[in-house]
A = this chain, B = another copy of it.
Amino acid sequence: MSDRKEFRDLAEPAEAHEAIASLDLEPEPETVELAEARGRILAERVDADLDVPGFDRASMDGYALRASDTFGADEADPAILELVGEVHAGSEPDVFVGEGECAEISTGAVLPDGADAVVMVEKTAEAGSEGEAIEIRTSVAPGNSVMPAGADIAAGQRALGPGTELTSREIGLLSALGRDEIEVRGQPTVGIVSTGDELVRPGEELHSDAGQIYDVNSYTIAAGVEEAGGEAKLYPHAGDDMAVMEEALTTAAEECDLVLSSGSTSASAVDVVYRVIEERGELLLHGVSVKPGKPMLVGRLEESAYVGLPGYPVSALTIFRTFVAPAIRRAAGVPEPRTATVEGTLAAEERYTEGRTRMMPVGLVENEAGETLVYPVDKGSGATTSLVEADGVVEVDADTEYLAAGETVTVTLFSPSVRTPAVLAFGEDDPAFSRLLDRLPSSRFLAVGSREGLRRLRDGLPDAAVVAGPVRREVESVGLGSWEREWGLIVPDGNPEGVDGFGSLADADLRFVNLDTATGLRASADAELDRLAAARDTDAAALQDAIDGYEFTLKAHESPARRVLDGKADAGLGLRATAEKLGLGFVPVDTQTVRVRANPERVEKQGVQDLKAALAGIDELFADLPGFSDS
């Protein structure tokens, strides 16, 4: 292995920020049409080059006149003025208003010469048989109901400054000034080069047996670049072919303000990056003392800035968000997002002693007192689900080895639009409950299994737990709803081995696939084995030993069935609903009850009430879930 890969001299986060700040990624300003300008940042200062409005403008329907002719007029003693013409919006007045005269005028029309005020129509009446005179029943001052030329903004005045974000409101002002094109800050072009033989672009065929995985970083980082105000450009996937990789890097450097590479975990690929940077640029920094994300490169490549991101998705996105996104925002002139942080209370103690600054992904939940509880969501830096199960990040200093439960921490939300879930549930991954969640869009459910769900409920973290099958240790809780589901052994279609229960698995040489002990299905299976052992006058452990694969467990409830489907097992633990969905055979064993149990302190919480109301209609979801029924 290369010495370089050991990252002996890790840079402090501040050094990494400095290294990136020393790079120039700022593109030239560009001119865009007003209709395309929303969300862009003004590069120029905009002064009005005309008066708005461009003329003295009537702001009421009524009569244009000389204010002095109305002095003293009221309902009892109106002034009578001669009607000499009319002026409509959008046309040039062809009338002069002299002393004792008036002209009909509509809102938005040009105040005719001679007139200095408008009286609204409601304060007037026609007079004279031919309507040739008008009664004015109020007195007005010069300028009444007139918006003078330039009153909104006058020629020569500063309208907007450079750095202004163009929202609908600024677009309104620019429209009023007649601007149909506008100079805005350029969006830095960010080239994304993903490397690694094992990566396949989404949509293409995947060969898992050959260790292939989908390329997560390319589209994820591209979306992150756009969120930060840059323009992302994906380069063809470079694999681990050194020539292709070098070509992709140098082409991207020619075409972009910043090149990001990510993906390859192979030492030889890293070596190519090192060589290309050293031959055609400069390496400023490699390795930063942050977890996740240690392997980060910063440098220059040709005329472009270069950052190498770690390969693991969570690491790559963390490094991107922490170090690269702020630089892209600066280059694009986009202000740092309004501080989207929340204070919360750590729900459980957290220990960590690796001596690197830790960017700890966390989820949020509101407790009964309206306080925010914070819990780590750390499924490893290879887990893309932790990206969507977390709400933000707590930065933990390198020298903080211990955070106590109840400690106050500051969470930087992933974006200001992140919301604390309305209801948080942990527990058994049940297909009916999973469908119910579609009706509760701001809910969050973590499929940790019944046992773990109950444990977390006891610790006071989630609002509710979903628990299936027998329970060893009771937890104080309030039932929100329950239903029954049929479980058993899932076998190939037609049940070719004639499996008729756990007994036949113990007696024949059949490969079985079990579920994790945290699941309620496993709890029921264990209970069934206890019953069977008693009936056979043996002990359950001996029976388990006799079943080939009883200790081979998977976590997800459909996974054993899929092993059977793939011909990798003869039988698997699962639900009738799963067997029928996958077109497999099913040997029923029993039914079990699934209960949704609320934290008793949080029953009044709106999200819990909404969950309870939704659960009242869960039987609507049983139609295509064979084996499911009301409790």
A147 at the interface (CB under 8 A from B): yes
A434 at the interface (CB under 8 A from B): yes
A496 at the interface (CB under 8 A from B): no
**Complex Cα–Cα for A161 and B439 (A):** 9
Residues of chain B contacted by A50 (CB below 8 angstroms): 206, 208
A494 at the interface (CB under 8 A from B): no
Give, as a whole number of angstroms, the nearest-CB distance from A448 to chain B.
12
A224 at the interface (CB under 8 A from B): yes
Give, as a whole number of angstroms, the nearest-CB distance from A45 to chain B.
5
Assess the B429–A196 pair: CB atoms within 8 A. no
Give, as a whole number of angstroms, the nearest-CB distance from A149 to chain B.
8
Assess the A559–B154 pair: CB atoms within 8 A. yes
Assess the B438–A161 pair: CB atoms within 8 A. yes
Which of B163, B197, B206 lies in contact with A89, CB distance below 8 A? B197
A61 at the interface (CB under 8 A from B): yes
Give, as a whole number of angstroms, the nearest-CB distance from A593 to chain B.
21
Assess the A89–B211 pair: CB atoms within 8 A. yes
A416 at the interface (CB under 8 A from B): yes
Cβ < 8 Å to B, chain A residues 305-336: 311, 313, 317, 335
Which residue of chain B is the closest to A325 with respect to CB atoms? B168
Assess the A209–B110 pair: CB atoms within 8 A. yes
Give, as a whole number of angstroms, the nearest-CB distance from A96 to chain B.
14
Assess the A168–B220 pair: CB atoms within 8 A. yes
Residues of chain B contacted by A110 (CB below 8 angstroms): 209-211
**Complex Cα–Cα for A561 and B154 (A):** 12
Assess the B172–A317 pair: CB atoms within 8 A. yes
Assess the A171–B210 pair: CB atoms within 8 A. no
Assess the A338–B208 pair: CB atoms within 8 A. no
- Given A157-B447, A208-B54, decide whether A38 and B178 contact each other with a Cβ distance below 8 A: no
A395 at the interface (CB under 8 A from B): no
Assess the A266–B558 pair: CB atoms within 8 A. no
Residues of chain B contacted by A38 (CB below 8 angstroms): 223, 226-227
Residues of chain B contacted by A162 (CB below 8 angstroms): 438, 441
Assess the B167–A223 pair: CB atoms within 8 A. yes
**Complex Cα–Cα for A72 and B555 (A):** 29
Assess the A203–B178 pair: CB atoms within 8 A. yes
Which of B147, B148, B266 lies in contact with A88, CB distance below 8 A? B266
Assess the B59–A385 pair: CB atoms within 8 A. no
A214 at the interface (CB under 8 A from B): yes
A198 at the interface (CB under 8 A from B): yes
Assess the A240–B90 pair: CB atoms within 8 A. yes
A387 at the interface (CB under 8 A from B): yes
Assess the A156–B557 pair: CB atoms within 8 A. yes
Assess the B155–A559 pair: CB atoms within 8 A. yes
A578 at the interface (CB under 8 A from B): yes
Residues of chain B contacted by A107 (CB below 8 angstroms): 265, 311
Q: Is the interface of A mostly helix, strand, loop or mixed?
A: loop
Assess the B54–A175 pair: CB atoms within 8 A. no
Which residue of chain B is the closest to A338 with respect to CB atoms? B417
Assess the A265–B108 pair: CB atoms within 8 A. yes
**Complex Cα–Cα for A78 and B188 (A):** 54
Assess the A55–B223 pair: CB atoms within 8 A. no
Residues of chain B contacted by A546 (CB below 8 angstroms): none
Residues of chain B contacted by A555 (CB below 8 angstroms): 148, 150-151, 154
Assess the B152–A179 pair: CB atoms within 8 A. no
Which residue of chain B is the closest to A42 with respect to CB atoms? B441
A473 at the interface (CB under 8 A from B): no
Residues of chain B contacted by A240 (CB below 8 angstroms): 90
Which of B152, B218, B556 lies in contact with A155, CB distance below 8 A? B556
Which residue of chain B is the closest to A87 with respect to CB atoms? B211
- Given A150-B554, A172-B313, A266-B106, decide whether A198 and B54 contact each other with a Cβ distance below 8 A: no
A212 at the interface (CB under 8 A from B): yes
A531 at the interface (CB under 8 A from B): no
Residue with the highest number of chain B CB atoms closer than 10 Å, among A175, A416, A417: A175
Give, as a whole number of angstroms, the nearest-CB distance from A355 to chain B.
16
**Complex Cα–Cα for A428 and B208 (A):** 71
Which of B165, B417, B559 lies in contact with A51, CB distance below 8 A? B559
Give, as a whole number of angstroms, the nearest-CB distance from A139 to chain B.
20
Extra 10 A-B pairs, beta carbons < 8 Å, given A177-B214, A338-B419: A35-B222, A38-B226, A45-B438, A89-B266, A147-B382, A155-B556, A155-B562, A156-B557, A172-B313, A172-B317
- Listed by A's residue number, 7 A-B pairs whose Cβ atoms lie within 8 Å are A34-B202, A50-B208, A54-B212, A106-B265, A152-B379, A172-B388, A175-B220
